[in-house]
Structures are given as structure tokens and as C-alpha cells.
Amino acid sequence: MRIGLLTDGAKISVFDAELVRRIHAAKVAEVVLVIQQELGGMSFARKIARAIRRGRLLRAVVFNVVVSIERRIVAIAKPQINELFESVPIESVCGAETLRVRPQVSRSGLVHRFSPEDIETIRSKKLDLLLRAGSGILRGDILSAAPHGVISFHHGDNRTNRGQPPGFWEVFERRDYTGFIIQRLTDELDAGEVLVRGELATKPSYLLNQWSVYKRAIISMVDLLSRLGRGGDGGCAREAEAIDWYSHTLYTTPSAGESLKYVAKLFRTLLARLARALLLGKGVWELRVLDADWHELTLTKARRLVPPRGKFWADPFIVGHPRGRAIFFEEFDFRRGKAHISALTTAHGGSFSYAGPVITTPYHLSFPYVFRYGDDYYMCPESADAKSIQLWRCTSWPLTWTHHKTVMADIDAADTMIFERDGLWWLFTNVDRDGTRDYCRELHIYYAGSPLSDNWTPLPSNPVVTGAARSRNAGLLFDDRGAYRLAQAQGFDQYGRSLKLFEITELSEQGYDERLIAELKPNRKLDANGIHHLSACAGAVVFDAHRPRYFWAELRRPPRKTAVRTELSFEPPARTARKA
């Protein structure tokens, strides 16, 4: 496809530059024309006078001061936010022909219209679409100057957030998710034809949230252009929205009072984190077990399996075996800053005993998904730090596992699940494609004739699920009616807030669909503020729960080899697992 890039002048943002690079690297399209808007400069005095007339001078000054303060603070830990203030020359990323135009700008300075001569020149270039990477509300014939029109980002969910600044109001109002859309522009502001929707968990800082949503939207744009290039609908059918009702405020730069209130909220968040670190220690994930059918759960009846000091336990999978059930889980060591895979085995009376590590590697491991193929048991632990998806085979139940093969190499993926359905083997995994190490935004599916195959075919509709509200895998459940996928739901500045259960209603080489049927949320009676994984096997259910751990409770904790709970004891393993 031939693309025209609409810009302001000879420089573009770091994010637009990355978009152009990714478009060319993916070979989905080519930017052949750069349309530079020559807007002219408004003197500083005129800008001040206009702001005074509109009563916006104070809010603009205060907000800019707030942004400056936040940048200095947040950049200490997150230096990537400095990219929000950087730009690069267009010629450094694109050698396309340049067309300079001088649009007619409205008295408000917001609306841009192109002259008939410029429109004719643009049409003569035989472009397939225009990408908006500049300012201004576009009106008039420019919107139809290419067959696919003008494609633009709106960094916000246009159903609840229209206006600006991008990423601010979601943080200010502490919303769980920050959305974005990619739209084909129309004459109505922020009400274009929606082609793609996306979302991510809202970050605690405005600048960090804005950086995250800018970064995430790039991949979605490349996917859209790829579909359009293949002659697809670009997502219109999937995201068809015949009704467009908007009843929220049209957001603008926050008032001086709102800016100061935001600063207070930001410092409160930072102080709360400091207080938690000093007074509460580290929040921990622990395991909970109950004897029940997973269809009918009362989580408050679960027994606690509490990790020893300096550890947390998460991502449990309970597996049945003729030699006894076992729970495999991530055992994170705070001192080492990484995890390995450990096991709990059934002891006398049906309780569980700590059996020790079963797989240790130089890199972090978690999410020990286990499945059976033939007479063998295989584990597919999350090994994103090794940029691979691996299979380990059990050679002696349940403690001895050896590396069997690498299913996929050079992939940044987490929380992989492999299972058989309708004669094919399916691989569900969460892939990070933009290098941010955020695995909560995309679910990808592959299929093969065998779980040991070297050739896995991706579904053409990948990613089949997007958004922080439902993408991240949290387990699989089965019954006589079919298969069910568990998914994490993230929250405002919170990983693993709750669980959602989806019935898999379609799974074929052509596509995937699922239907939400239940949700589990933590509460005070459960004594947890997060839950992000669940597994079931033959009348037993295990899940993980997150709760704060007070430092004075740590001082009272018994040593590692004494009983922590009556149903869980720490005993030396019968044998030590060997690392492959």
C-alpha cells in the first residue's frame, strides 16, 4: 500500500518515527509521500493574549509546571517518558517525496482545510490512505483524498473520553483501563469510523500512562495496515458500531485546581508506596486450596498454603497422577529477584507437603502449565527471559524434569497453555511485540498436529484477544461441555486484580471466540486484594491470592522447616531435582 504521512513541519515525534520504521520493517506498506503542513508561527505575545481572552492562561501555566515536576520525579525510575518530549527529522526514518502545503486555519487555530490545488496534487499521487501525524482538526476534501481516507489515532476510549490531554483523565479519575482507538476521520471530532480498539491497565502517573498508550497503539496500527493491505476490512466488521452516543464531558486541559489535586494524588500514591515498603514489607502471593467442584466455589472456605519468609508462591497448577496429586507453582525468591518451579505433593490425610524445586534455570521461570501426551507428562513453564517457549518432560513423578525441546525461539511470550481439541493441538500464549515487557495486552493462538511439533501455524486473526481486561492467561478448565479459558483482569496500578472465566465457543483454523460466564474478585472476607490464577483437578481447586504482609508478622513467622499451617508442612524433599 502507498501511504501519505501528514506532518507539522520537518520533524515528527519519536512514536511516529517508530511507527514508520515498523511499517517498513513489516513490509505491510510504504510511506511514499510526506505532506508537511506549513502552519506559520504565532508570536508568544499573541499566544498569551489569546489564552487570556479564553480564560485559559492560569490553567495552562499551572498544568505545564505540574508536568515539569512530574517529569523530573518519574524519569528517575522511568527515563523512557522523556521520549514524550523528543522529535526526530523525517528524513532520518523516511526518504519519501515531500509536499509542502499551507492549510487554511480557522480563527480558533484548531481546524485545518486544504486548498483544491493541494487536494488535487495529493490525489495525483495515487495514495491508498493518509496517516495523520500532525496537529489540527481536519475538515473538507482531505478526508476523501485517498480511497481509505485519513487514518488517525485517538489516545483515549472515545466512548468515555473525548478531548485531551491523552492519558491524563484516566489517571486523575483512577480508571482501571486507558483505551485508544484507530479511526477513519470524519467531520465529527473524535467520532470517526472506529477500525480498532485497544486498552491497557492505567499507570499511576500521567506521563507514564501517556507514554504507555502511545507505545501500545503503534503495534495496533501496523496490524491494521497489514489487514488493509491483504484486502481485509481493517477490523470494521469486528468493531461495527452502529450507534455512537456520548454523554460524558468533552475533556480539556485541567483547571489549576484540578492540576493541584492531581499533584496531591500523585504524591499520595508515592508516599503510600513508601509506607507499604517501610511498614508492610512486600505484598506476597500465596496459595489457597479447597476440596470442591470448580463449577461451585466458595473461596472463603479455602485453606491457606503460606510461603516461607522471603518468598511468594503463585501460578499454581494441580495435576492428577497415579502416584498422587501434585501442585506445581512459581516460587519467587525476593533476594535473588527471580523464580523457579517448585512442587507440593500429597501427604497423609490429603494434605500437601513442600517437595522443593523441580526446575531451576539461570533465568526466571513461572506459570508451570502441565499436560499429558501419550504416557508422558510435559510442562511448559513461562520462560520469557530466555525469549523462548520451552517443553520439559517428567522422567520421575513429580520431582524430576528434563528439558525436552524449544517449541518456539526468538519470541517474547508468557503464560503459554497447550491442549488438544478436535484433532489438533492448540497453543495459547501472551506475546509482547513492542519490547515493554507487558504481557497483559495480547492473546495469540497457534495450532499443530502434535504438541511436539516444530511447526506451529498462527491464526490469521492474531492477536485474537486484546486489552488488559481479558488477554492474560490464568489457566484452563474442562468439563463435558468443552473448554474454558481463565483470564486475568488488571486494575489501576495493580497487576492481577481479579479473574474472568470465558467459555471457548469457537476454536478453528479460521478463528477464535469466547464468552464471559463468570468473574472472581477478591474482597476482605477472602483476605486478599488480588487473585490471578486458578486450576482444578478431580474435586480439588487451587488458586493464588495476593495480600500485604506486615513486617511485624514476619518477625513472628516460624522458621522454614516447622509447620506453617496444619495442612502444610515443610519437609526436606526425598530427592533433589536436577537442572537440565
The predicted structure's pLDDT at residue 127: 97
Cell of 222: 501496523
Tell me how many domains the chain contains.
Answer: 2
Q: Are residues 220 and 268 in the same domain?
A: yes
| Long-range pairs for 526-530: beta carbons < 8 A, 24 or more residues apart | 526/299, 526/300, 529/283, 529/494, 529/497, 530/285, 530/494, 530/495, 530/496, 530/497, 530/498
What pLDDT shows up at residue 55? Answer: 60
Q: Is 73 helix (H, G, I), strand (E, B) or coil?
A: helix
Cα 208 from Cα 174, distance rounded (Å): 14
**pLDDT at site 284:** 86
CB within 8 Å of 103: residues ≥ 6 apart: 37, 39, 112, 113, 114, 115, 118, 136
Domain contains 493: no
- The enclosing domain of 111 has a CATH number of 3.40.50.170
Task: Give domain status of residue 522, yes or no.
Answer: no
Pick from 321, 324, 315: nearest CA to 359 = 315
Does 363 lie in the same domain as 239? no
Domain final residue, candidates 273, 293, 311: 273
Please give the pLDDT value at position 44.
57
Whether residue 251 is contained in a domain is answered as: yes
In a domain, 525, yes or no: no
Burial (CB < 10 A; 0-12, 13-18, 19+), residue 538, is exposed
pLDDT of residue 575: 37
Q: What pLDDT score does 40 carry?
A: 66
Reading the block at residue 83, the C-alpha cell is: 521520549
Same domain, 128 and 23: yes
Query: What's the pLDDT at 494?
Result: 87
CATH code, domain carrying 301: 2.115.10.20
Sign of CA dihedral 224, 228, 230, 236: positive
Residues 228 and 291 in one domain: no
pLDDT digits (tens, 9 = 90+) for 2-59: 999 999 989 999 999 999 999 999 999 999 999 999 876 555 565 666 656 556 788 8
* DSSP code for 510: S
What is the reported pTM? 0.89
Same domain, 354 and 381: yes
How far apart (Å, rounded) are the C-alpha atoms in residues 223 and 462?
A: 9
Same domain as 289, residue 166: no
pLDDT at 270: 85
Regarding whether 374 and 339 lie in a shared domain, the answer is yes
Are residues 181 and 320 both part of a single domain? no
Which residues of the chain are modeled with pLDDT < 70?
40-55, 190, 232-243, 276-282, 347-349, 549-580
Say if 574 falls within a structural domain.
no
Q: Which residues are within 8 A (CB) of 562 and not within 5 positions of it... i.e. 6 or more apart?
A: 569, 570
Q: How far is the C-alpha of 16 from the C-alpha of 299, rounded, in Å?
A: 47
Q: Which residue has the cell 514489607?
A: 281
Boundary-marking domain end, from 241, 273, 305: 273
Question: CA 239 to CA 194: how far, in whole Å?
Answer: 7
Q: Do residue 251 and residue 291 come from a single domain?
A: no
Picking from 273, 301, 317, the residue at the C-terminal end of a domain is 273
Residue 524 lies in a domain: no
List, for residues 81-132, the tens digit of each pLDDT value.
999 999 999 999 999 999 999 999 887 778 999 999 999 999 999 999 999 9
Same domain for 463 and 561?
A: yes
CA dihedral 384, 390, 394, 398 (to 10 degrees): 10
**Residue 152: HSE in the Cβ half-sphere, 13 Å Cα cutoff:** 24
In angstroms, rounded to a whole number, what is the distance separating the alpha carbons of residues 449 and 461?
19
* Domain carrying residue 100: 2-273
Indicate if 156 and 263 belong to the same structural domain. yes
**Residue 332 shares a structural domain with residue 260:** no
CA angle, 441 then 445 then 446, to 5°: 145
In a domain, 474, yes or no: no
Q: Does residue 93 form part of some domain?
A: yes
